[in-house]
Amino acid sequence: MTDVRLLVQRFDPLTDEKPRFAEYSVPKREGMTVLDALLYARDYLDHSIALRFSCRQASCGSCGMKINGRLRLACYTQVEELGGEKVVAQPMDNFEIIKDLVTDLGSFFAKHKQLMPYVLRSDSQEMDHPSAEFLMKPEELEKVLQFTYCIKCGLCTSSCPTVGTDALFPGPQALAQAYRYLSDERDEGGKRRIDALDTAHGVWRCHYAGSCSAVCPKGVDPALGIQLLKRHVMSGKARSEGAEVWKQQAAAAPPLK
C-alpha cells in the first residue's frame, strides 16, 4: 500500500499571523476520497486539524474546499482522480477562515435569505392556512428543477471573481435561487424580487465568468440562471398571473386531510 502526500493549509487565529501548510503521509486505499484522507490525518496524525463535514455523500454541502487548486467537495473527490500522489487541501476562497479548512459562511447564508428563497404570494391567509397543496404541472417543475438541487455548499460563490472584490454582491448561489423562485409559476413576488436584484451591486455585477457552473457539484448551473434572470429583469415582467392559475388548480385538487 502506497502513501499519499496530504498538504493541509493550517491557520489558527490564536497563534498564526497567516496561513501555512502542514504535510501528512496518509496510507492510500482504493476508493479513498479526499475527506477520507483528511479524516485519517485528523484521527491518527494530528487531532488539531479543523474541517467541516457531515453526510459524506455530496448531499449536505459541508465539506466544500479548494483541492489541488480547484473548488470541490472533499467527499465527492477521489484521491485517485487527482493523480493519487499529492493532495493539497485549502479552505474555500473569498470566505473568512475561522480555522484551517473551516470558513465562515455567515454572509453567504445571509445573502441567500436576503433574496427571499421561498414562494411569495398575495393570499397570505391561504399561505398560513392552506386549503390545498400548491400544485405545479410537471413541465412547470422542469423549468426550475435543476435550481432546486442546490446544497448551499458555497463552492460557486467562492469561485466567483466578483465576490472576491464586491462584498455587497449576492453571489451566484443567491442569484440562482432568486431565478428559481422568480420563474416559479406559483410565485407572485416578481416586483419585490426584481427590486432586490436590480441594484448597483445586484445581478448586473455578474459578468458571466461561468466558474460557478463549472465548479457546481450538483449540476445547478448558476451561470445559466443568472443570465436568464438578467433577461427577466430586462423584460420588466413581474408575475401576477400566478394567483389565478393556482386558484384554478386549487379548486380542482382534493382538500388536505
Partner 1 sequence: MADNTPKGAERAKNKRGIWGWINPYHYNLERWAYAFQRITGVAVLAYVLGHLGDTSFFVGGPTGSGPSPSSWDFIGTIFENSFGHLILVLVVLVLVFHGVNGIRLILAEFGFILKKPSKIEYPYKAKGLGSGQKYLIWIGIAAGVAAAVWAFLVLFEGMG
The contact set with partner 1 (CB under 8 A) reads 11, 13-14, 17-19, 69-70, 91, 93-98, 103-106, 109, 142-147, 149, 159, 161, 164-165, 207-211, 213-214, 216, 218-219, 221-225, 227-228, 230-231, 234
CB of 249 to partner 1, least distance (A): 21
Query: Least distance to partner 1 from the beta carbon of 89, Å?
Result: 14
Residue number with CB closer to partner 1 (10 or 28): 10
Category of 23 on φ-ψ map: left (φ > 0), alpha (ψ -120 to 50) or beta: beta
In terms of Cα–Cα distance, which of 99, 6, 90 is closest to 49? 99
Q: How far is the CB of 16 from partner 1 (least distance, A)?
A: 8
Distance CA(28)–CA(4), nearest Å, equals: 6
CA dist 133 and 121 (Å) reads 14
- Nearer of residues 1 and 234 to partner 1, judged by Cβ: 234
User: Closest approach of Cβ 233 to partner 1, in Å?
Assistant: 10
Region of residue 16 (phi > 0: left; psi between -120 and 50: alpha; otherwise: beta): beta
Q: Measured from the CB atom, is 93 or 126 closer to partner 1?
A: 93
The residue type of 7 is: L
What is the grid cell recorded at 84? 493519487
Quick one: 18 or 47, whose CB is closer to partner 1?
Answer: 18
